[in-house]
Chains A and B, each alone.
Chain A
Amino acid sequence: MDFLQNYGFLIVTMIQQGLLGLSLYFPLMAGQLSLASPGFYALGGYIAAIMGTNAAFAPLRESLGSWIFPLEWLVAGVASAALGLIVGVPALRLRGIYLALATIAFVEILRVVALNLSVTGGAVGLFGVPQPFGFVDRWQYVWIFGPLLVLVLLFTARLERSRVGRAFRSLREDELAADAMGVPPTRYKVMAFVIGAVLAGIVGAMSAPFLNTWNARQGTFDASIAYLAYVLIGGSRNMWGPVLGGALLAALPEVLRPLQDWRLIINGLVLVVASLYLPQGLVGLFRRRRAAPLARPATQEVAK
């Protein structure tokens, strides 16, 4: 079991980051670049940390026992969906870089609020989040993150083949044309955004006990960009892309550990090189090249 002792934390982190990559992939399926995931991730984590440590929830914890944890995930998912709707409905009128900037602002505002409230523990954060189901080792979290990843991948595969998935794809390819063909853009964009928000919220709620502590550093601009990098470097047109990108990029600092101080520098270089030389993402390397060049006329950029 030495392997699990040594690498368990890393393996769970790879799954967790893959899930967070997926949370950003959903809005992208509908063509929306949202960087809001860290905000919902932080929200979910705070909900779990507060329900796990705050004295006000002590009676509930005693009566529910281990069932408190699924309840935390549920509350985090519902709260993220509600906040996602409130933020998403107005914000999704914006396109492209504007939506990205609005969601960066959203994440920053949540971060500053979390830093200053007393219920979130201010700048120090919350400590000693209880462990679910009697877990004693980090690697045991595979038993909750693993099934979640499988469920989400099954859900995504179904979604992509469904009417909703086709609506998302049509919005991604051409919003005006989709609208003209009877796909209501706002409804589907908000739906895609909310799905991503709920996933990020649940992952946050599962991560608070995993990390044992939660603070305002969990939801930052850096995280927004990290998740975006997972999707773009893994591949943004296939659900395996974010999972692969998240897992590999999360493992990278660990793999580079022997390089010590050069670690983060090399990490940055990898981002640059990957975005320059892997336009289809890592997943693109595995796919056969047919059809891809014909899918879009080359005149796109010029005609704009």
Chain B
Amino acid sequence: MELTQFIQNVLNGVSIGSVYAIFALGYTLIFSILGIINFAHGAVFTLGAYFTYTLAVGQFGINGLLKNVDLFPNGSPLGSSVPGFVLALLIGSVLAGLVGVVIERLAFRPLRSRGADPLLALVSSLGVALVLVNLIQYLVGAEIYSFPADVYGNLKPALVLHVGEKLVVIRTVQIIIFVVSMIMLIILGYLISRTKIGKALRAVAENPGTSSLLGISVDRYVLYTFFLSGFLGGLAGTLVATSFGIAGPYFGVTYGLKGLAVIVLGGLGSIPGAVVGGIVIGLAEAFVPAEYSAYKEAVAFALLFVILLVRPQGLLGRALVQKV
């Protein structure tokens, strides 16, 4: 493989991998606390993209509430649409986080408080996903929506690097996706490892019973977790949508499944694992040769299958010890 092709693949892979990572962290946070996979996460991803689109560009009634928001009366250095878009992105992700909270209250908490079979949570969260996806379809139809090219303002659409004779092209969107994901990861890392909330979350993840005895309100921290998870999912959805458009209400399903591959690859419940898993799968997909590109969709699952067979605890997960 030529050097330029190699560099190009690495850049493409790291960019999409970083968004896989923040999306998959939404699964990880919930799994580490409840030991349950929230199958509605893919639907939250989709919702996040629609929320942001509605606020920033929309034609679904709100008509781009924030389309012409101008925080800089003297003219923003990046272009007039950027502040509105950034605000829409934040509000859209917060709304996705609130949807996460609603999902916890409706589909998870009743089962948990009864001590029900965890498998039932799979079905109830899938029921929620079915409701959300079809609600979107009912409200806005199955059309494809694309963000306008200027949501990121008057930045150049792509960065072209000269390596020897050849060119390496990086789309601006890819850089933004990577940077936003990294910022999010740093904030999350800080939140989990340095703050009181993070400490409580880690305590609940370690042992909900004991944390509750020590005065930590488990239910409240579970709600925070679902909020964070939904926020990350919604943010990832918007980021992907600014790059590829919103392909309809089922847009999140593929990402939802790939996210599962990411968390298993990294190790279920491991936060660094989700990041490593995301990047590895992004890179693996980027390196699929063009003539086999039809099989690209299977790469994540092939990796999932292989890792489960050779190292079930994942790349960074703790070894599973069965207690008797």
Contact = CB atoms under 8 A, between A and B. Distances in A.
Interface in B118-137: 119-124, 126-132, 134-135, 137
Interface of A: 33, 90-91, 93-94, 97-98, 100-102, 104-106, 108-109, 112-113, 115-116, 176, 221, 225, 228-229, 232-233, 236, 261-262, 264-265, 267-276, 279, 301-302, 304
A116 B261 CA distance: 21
Given A232-B120, A264-B130, A271-B123, A105 B138 contact: no
B308 interface: yes
A281 to B, nearest CB: 10
Interface of B: 37, 39, 106-107, 110-111, 114-117, 119-124, 126-132, 134-135, 137-138, 209, 253, 257, 260-261, 264, 268, 294-295, 297-298, 301-302, 304-305, 308-309, 312, 322-324
Contacts, number: 127
Nearest to A302: B209
A225 B297 contact: no
Given A104-B257, A264-B134, A276-B124, A112 B116 contact: no
A275 B111 contact: yes
Contacts of A112: 294-295, 297-298, 301
10 contacts: A98-B308, A108-B257, A108-B301, A109-B298, A112-B298, A232-B117, A233-B123, A265-B135, A268-B126, A275-B127
The secondary-structure label for the interface of chain A is helix
Contacts of B302: 105, 109
A271 B122 CA distance: 10
Contacts of A90: 309
Nearest to B115: A301
Contacts of B297: 108, 112
Contact of B134 (A265, A273, A274, A301): A265
Contacts of A274: 123
Contacts of A233: 123
A268 B308 contact: no
Contacts of B107: 272, 276
Nearest to B110: A276
A101 B308 contact: yes
A79 to B, nearest CB: 19
Given A221-B257, A279-B117, A279-B120, A268 B304 contact: no
Contacts of A106: 301, 305
Contact of A105 (B110, B126, B261): B261
A229 B134 contact: no
A272 B305 contact: no
Going nearest first, the 3 A-B pairs with the smallest beta carbon separation are A271-B127, A268-B130, A268-B131
A293 B34 CA distance: 25
Nearest to A270: B127
Contact of A97 (B37, B127, B134, B257): B37
Given A106-B305, A267-B130, A301-B115, 7 more contacts: A102-B304, A104-B257, A104-B301, A105-B304, A268-B130, A275-B111, A275-B121
Nearest to B109: A276
A236 B122 CA distance: 14
B295 A229 contact: no
B210 to A, nearest CB: 11
Contact of B126 (A116, A225, A302, A304): A225
A97 B126 CA distance: 15
Given A33-B119, A268-B131, A302-B209, A229 B305 contact: no
Nearest to B132: A268
Nearest to B127: A271
Given A265-B134, A275-B127, A304-B323, A101 B304 contact: yes
A116 B294 CA distance: 7
The winner among B115, B123, B264, B309 for most chain A CB atoms within 10 A is: B123
B301 A105 contact: yes
Contacts of A225: 39, 122-123, 126
A43 to B, nearest CB: 16
Contacts of B257: 104, 108, 221
Nearest to A233: B123
A230 to B, nearest CB: 10
B111 A276 contact: yes
Contact of A265 (B131, B268, B324): B131
A269 B110 CA distance: 15
Contact of A272 (B114, B128, B261, B324): B128
